[in-house]
Structure 1
Amino acid sequence: MDLDAYVAEHGGEWRRLDQLSGRRRLTVDEVDELVALYQRATTQLSMLRSRSPDPALVGELSQVVLRARARLTVRPRPSWAVVRRFVLVDFPGAVWRAAPWWCAVATAFTLLTFTLIAFVADNPETAAAFVGEAEAAHLVESGFAGYYTEFSAPTFAFHLWTHNAWLAAKCLAAGVLIVPVAYLLWQNVVNIGVVGGVMVGYGRADVFFGLITPHGLLELTGVFVAAGVGLRIGWAWIAPPEHLTRGQAVARAGRDGVVVALGLVVVFAISAVIEAFVTPAPVPVALRIAVGVTAWLAFLAYVLVLGSRTRGDGDETPAMRN
């Protein structure tokens, strides 16, 4: 190999590659040029290593190639565009795609809960079987209302936030097995149904619904979404679409599950703030309920408006991009 002729022929390309590697911002054309020069330089470096006795030249070109590789593989910095896409596309789209599942969960949960409330209220002896007579009396007199003021509001909000986020995480993680999700939901049905039945049976329905409604609408909707998305993951394993393998179907549904898990962290934070600061506030019940209903309807509108504008794969529709 004529080393001088080889350097003269390709030296300009190496210098251009090094120049592009050092730039902070590149145009689309410059990126394409960088990739092409990098590919040629790696081939040329291999030739020099096998045929050239000049270690200085090999070392110099190796540094150029390494800098170019680092420039091409640099991790993108977090940007507001990523956050914007998550808020406006990814999260509402994932919730929207699972809407049939979490709406079905919400319907079944509500029917079972109100059925249990009515049963316990009409059969006072069942309250004693579930919680005991003394505990039932304590709930009615002060226990239920006192739950919301037992701790300071910030501490209570943090506890609620972490508890609900953990419940949602379990629903999402156990979704592929289906049965654990049903069990977690049933536990909540029994808890709300029995307490509600005791309160209604003792003539304190106004206290029960006045305290649980402000935060419960948004909080339970978050739980329904988590359970629905979890069950959707499980169904993807049982009956994958014809155009996907079982693994591909579970992976696609699982990606939505991760997105929903992240988004629900914010949803549960909002519901926790409402429960800790609004639910026990010394203001008219109608005002407290209005706050809760407003937050709940805002979330539903957010999912309906933005989620319905995404395709099945989670991308924006052309209208949205424009």
Structure 2
Amino acid sequence: MDLDVFVTAHRAEWDRLDHLVHRGRHLTGAEADELVALYQRTATHLSLIQSSAPDPLLTGRLTQLVARARSTVTGTRRASWRDAVLFLTAGFPAAVYRSRHWWIPTAVLSTVLAAIIGWWIATHPEVQSSIAAPQELRRLTRPGGEYETYYSSHPAASFAAQVWTNNAQAAAMCLTLGAFLCIPVIWILFLNVLNLGVGIGLMSAAGRLDTFLGLVLPHGLLELTAVFVAAGTGLRLGWTVIDPGPQSRRTALAQQGRAALGMAIGLALVLFVSGVIEGFVTPSGLPTWARIAIGIAAELAFLAYVYILGGRAARAGDTGDVEAADRSAELPAAA
């Protein structure tokens, strides 16, 4: 394609579109129709230039023009409580449901790996001694030791806030760093699994595995599920870089990335609930069975939320992406 000839042939249309965009709401009916037609034509021109004769200056100008024209055509839409309700009842659970083929295997493999690490540490005293000195291990695992006092070492409210912040950051990192070919996500996930496995192994070696599980399970079921969902979604995002499927890599990444960022908000709410349980239920004087029952109830409620509301929304076509009016325009692909 001869770029100079193409620009000469269509510059008048672009200038006319720019003029109509500047007039905004003061257009007549005929001018509004003309604006829509020119917007669609210019979007096609931009696609042709990007695929056949990319020119940074011209591409930048037309990209801005198309974006401004689209904003004029569609108008601006303010967020409302309806958006929040739709996100919580459809968008977020649908995104979690649709990514279940990633986070469920992640959860299973991580749990098995944590159990193997715990067994290896518990049955090999030389591994335990490489982790810490014997007196340090006793200080960690004895009754009233650091594994137990950790959950009551700070006021419940501040401890819950601290735990929530740390876990939300870890989940957000899994979601956003997945685009780097999954490697950061795998590392973050491994560190979490390793910490859990070390705790299982050391407390098991001290004959206090029941105490450890009684402390971890009330909040850990929901907390770990949220981390596994974040990790699985991050891995899915990373795989999109490798294999975008029938869509272009840019379009597929944009769709998966928007859904992942939305999930970061939803998972922050889930982790807030687990943080409250960890701050107020785990260190409470409730019997162990009661604390674990609360953790199981929270986990089952989340899974029901995902599979009932999320499954229904996913079958209705919801992907967890933002509404079409809030997405960037997808340019037609040149043949």
TM-score of the two chains, using structure 2 as the length reference: 0.72
- Residue 189 of structure 1: which of 193, 196, 199 is its match? 193
User: What displacement does 1:75 show?
Assistant: 4.0
5+ long unaligned stretches in structure 1: 1-20, 22-33, 43-69, 317-322
Which one of the candidate residues 257, 265, 270 is aligned to 2:268? 265
Q: Structure 2: state its 5+ residue gaps.
A: 1-24, 36-70, 321-335
Which of 196, 203, 219 in structure 1 is aligned with 2:207?
203
Q: Could you tell me which of 153, 164, 167 is aligned with 1:150? A: 153
Distance 1:244 1:163 in 2: 35
* Residue 214 in structure 1 maps to residue 215 in structure 2: no
CA distance 1:143–1:36, change in 2 (3 Å):
same
Distance 2:34 2:232 in 1: 52
Count residues in correspondence.
Answer: 257
Aligned counterpart, 1:64: none
Where does residue 239 of structure 2 map in the other structure? Answer: 235
Higher relative contact order (CA 8 A, sep 6+): 2
| Cα separation, 2, equivalents of 1:295 and 1:35 | 57
Q: Compared with structure 1, are the counterparts of its residues 41 and 127 closer, same or farther at alpha carbon in structure 2 (3 Å cutoff)?
A: closer
Contact 1:124 1:198 in 2 (8 A): no
In the other structure, the counterpart of 1:293 is 296
Residues 38 and 208 (structure 1), Cα distance of their counterparts in 2 relative to 1, 3 Å cut: same
CA displacement 1:180-204 (0-9 Å, x = unmatched): 1111111111111112101011100
Letter in 2 for 1:162: T
Give me the whole-angstrom Cα distance separating, in 2, the residues matched to 1:75 and 1:182: 39
Q: Secondary structure at the match of 1:283?
A: coil
For residues 36-55 of structure 1, what are the alpha-carbon distances to aligned partners after superposition, in whole Å with 9 as ceiling and x for unaligned? 3773899xxxxxxxxxxxxx
Name the CA distance, whole Å, in 1 between partners of 2:28 and 2:115. 63
Q: Measure the CA separation in 1 of the matches of 2:87 and 2:134.
A: 49
CA distance in 1 between partners of 2:319 and 2:125 (Å): 53
- How well do the aligned residues superpose, as a CA RMSD in angstroms? 2.4
User: Which residue of structure 2 aligns with residue 36 of structure 1?
Assistant: 29
1:274 aligns with 2:277: yes
Alignment of 1:1-322 (within 5 A): 36=29, 39=32, 75-141=76-142, 142-177=145-180, 178-241=182-245, 243-309=246-312, 310-311=314-315, 314=318
TM-score between both structures, scaled by the size of structure 1: 0.75
- Counterpart of 1:58 in structure 2 is none
Question: CA-to-partner distance for each residue in 1:40-84, whole Å, 9 max, x for gaps?
Answer: 899xxxxxxxxxxxxxxxxxxxxxxxxxxx998764343221111
The structure-2 alpha-carbon separation of the partners of 1:312 and 1:140, relative to structure 1 and needing over 3 Å to count, comes to: same
CA contact (8 A) 1:106 1:221 kept: yes
Say if 1:214 and 1:274, in contact at 8 Å, map to a contact too: yes
Check whether the contact 2:176–2:261 (CA below 8 A) recurs between aligned residues. no
- Structure 1 pair 122/77, CA: closer, same or farther in 2 (3 Å)? same
Amino acid at match of 1:216: G
Bigger drift between 251-260 and 220-229 goes to 251-260
8 Å contact from structure 2 (residues 175, 230) kept in 1: yes
Identity, in percent, stands at 41
Shift of 1:119: 1.0
CA distance in 2, matches of 1:205, 1:94: 36
Mapped to 2, the partners of 1:123 and 1:71 lie a distance apart of: 68
